[in-house]
Amino acid sequence: MVSRRLSRLEGHRRKFMAVVDQTPECSRAVLYAGYRARNTGGGVVLIFIVPPQDFQQWLGVGDIMREEAMEEANSALAKTAQFIREKVGIEPELVIREGQPVEQIHALIEEDRDIAILVLASGSTKEGPGPLVSSVAGRSAAFPIPVTVIPDALGDEEIEALS
């Protein structure tokens, strides 16, 4: 069960959340979320999830790996935010979380009650559509808000026309 969304109340606006990662299809979801937000007067939340590290016996190594992962997250979010600013003309909110992706997405949805739509993009590689899209299709994630899945084969103009 998810808390009541506040996005339609005065002083609030509907937010579209997209997950930033190293997959090629990530930009498709981000672009769609940006255009939808712009076209509907909403906002965009970009989340980068750093997977949990398990190097307790080598604390120094774990700290270095965590620091490197955070640098990678900040860099990826900065690059993606710049892409949205230039392409769509809006300023996204940036969030970095550590942990399991599905759990962190659920947690952010619960914390930010203006997030009303999760936008994912499906991959077209031999590995399948991607772990998050697969989890939605398999119902193992069961996100508490609507999920929009963007095919990675759509071009920028097609995404803009659909949003």
Phi and psi for 105 in degrees, rounded to 5?
Answer: -65, -45
Tell me if 6 sits within 8 A of 114, measured CB to CB: yes
By three-state DSSP, how is residue 29 classified? helix
* Rounded CA separation 81/92 (Å): 6
Size (the chain), residues: 163
pLDDT digits (tens, 9 = 90+) for 11-49: 888 999 999 998 888 999 999 999 999 999 999 999 999
Model confidence, pTM: 0.86
pLDDT at 51: 86
* R_g (Cα) of the chain, nearest Å: 16
Other C-beta atoms closer than 10 Å to the C-beta of 125 total 12
